Amino acid sequence: MVDTKVSLAGVVLDNPIIPASGTFGFGKEFSELYDISKLGSISFKGTTVEPRTGNAQPRIADCKAGMLNAVGLQNPGVDAVLAEEIPELAKIFPKPLIANISGFSEEEFVRLAEAMDSEPAVGIIEVNVSCPNVHAGGVNFASDRKETEKITAAVRKATKKPVFVKLSPNVTDIADMAKGCEAAGADGISLINTLLGMRIDIKRRKPVLANRYGGYSGPGIFPVALRMVDQVRHAVDLPIIGMGGISTADDIIEMVMAGASAVQIGAANLVDPWTCIRLVDELPARMEELGIESLDEIRGIA
């Protein structure tokens, strides 16, 4: 019998499989398809302070080996998430949740962290720094190490829960960004977020997305994600949640061999909503075939 248990900064999961934020809603829709309590954890829909309707349509575009999205953090806002969404999700998922938070200023990140700190169903706070800093002319937090450190330190002070910082791949040196997070007190790193991309409708002669640019995700970004996980695990001594184009048990094993402690499944959920539960069954079977007794024995082995 193989051991699929993993630990994320002291939070133990039965298996490393986590639906990625923004691709699983708040779990209710998927609970109608299968028993979501079999998942390792759930990173629920990115939460902001105020409700957001998201970007204008169209905000999804098909691509070779993936998709583009510019949804724009559509969510009901932190008050509704705490009062309605988390209590409902906790009824059907009795394990620690991952709260993905997105702020547009340091103050907003702190408010969100404090709110999630008081929620017993939340085990980990995932800080999405890929948001524009409204106090710095809209510059993305994730593209500036000092700003990322500042947000990480502020969130670290605002909660006692483990803090994982979700990094953008759209930077010059991902390892340096991770070092900044570690120095500021992060308990772990999530990577990678989507790559910035674009599609053009050649008949309309206009960008496909109303937002012009969007985040590219899916199988096409897997080698990039794998490389960045490998770089970060050599740069910091923190657990890593790897993501980016994962859709098979072999992908998960590769991610762990590169240094990830757990993985998140994103775009694959939108193609096949049974992906995560299929991987829960397929991973231990594949580990047995490869003679792997536990994920710990292969972590970072590459």
Q: What whole-number percentage of the chain has pLDDT above 90?
A: 95
pLDDT at 134: 47
Using DSSP, state whether 127 is helix, strand or coil: strand
The pLDDT of residue 138 is above 70 = no
In a domain, 289, yes or no: yes
Contact (Cβ atoms closer than 8 angstroms) between residue 184 and residue 146? no
State the total domains in the chain. Answer: 1
In a domain, 176, yes or no: yes
Burial level of 175, CB count in 10 A (0-12/13-18/19+)? middle
Distance between CA atoms of 114 and 98, rounded to whole angstroms?
14
In a domain, 64, yes or no: no
267-290: pLDDT as tens digits: 999 999 999 999 999 999 999 999
Distance between CA atoms of 115 and 57, rounded to whole angstroms?
31
In a domain, 131, yes or no: yes
Question: Hey, which residues are catalytic here?
Answer: 131
Structure tokens that stand for 96 in this block: 């620690």
pLDDT at 135: 57
Distance between CA atoms of 211 and 15, rounded to whole angstroms?
37
Domain that holds residue 242: 6-55+73-195+221-297
Contact (Cβ atoms closer than 8 angstroms) between residue 281 and residue 4? no
- The pLDDT of 140-153, averaged and rounded, is 92
Structure tokens that stand for 14 in this block: 């039965």
The pLDDT of residue 291 is above 80 = yes
Contacts of 161 (CB under 8 A, 6+ apart): 116, 117, 122, 123, 124, 125
In a domain, 211, yes or no: no
Distance between CA atoms of 179 and 260, rounded to whole angstroms?
16
Q: What is the CATH number of the domain that holds 110?
A: 3.20.20.70
In a domain, 201, yes or no: no
- The pLDDT of 59-63, averaged and rounded, is 94
What one-letter code names the amino acid at 7? S
216-262: pLDDT as tens digits: 999 999 999 999 999 999 999 999 999 999 999 999 999 999 999 99
Using DSSP, state whether 179 is helix, strand or coil: helix
Look-up: residue for tokens 């957001």? Answer: 52
- Which residues on neighbouring strands pair with residue 67, listed in sequence order? 62, 217
Distance between CA atoms of 213 and 215, rounded to whole angstroms?
7
In 10 A of CB 170, how many CB atoms? 16
In a domain, 208, yes or no: no
Contact (Cβ atoms closer than 8 angstroms) between residue 37 and residue 92? yes
Return the percent helix, strand and coil in the chain, to nearest 5: 35, 25, 40
Peptide bond into 219 cis (omega under 30): no
Contact (Cβ atoms closer than 8 angstroms) between residue 11 and residue 162? yes
In a domain, 89, yes or no: yes
80-109: pLDDT as tens digits: 999 999 999 999 999 999 999 999 999 999
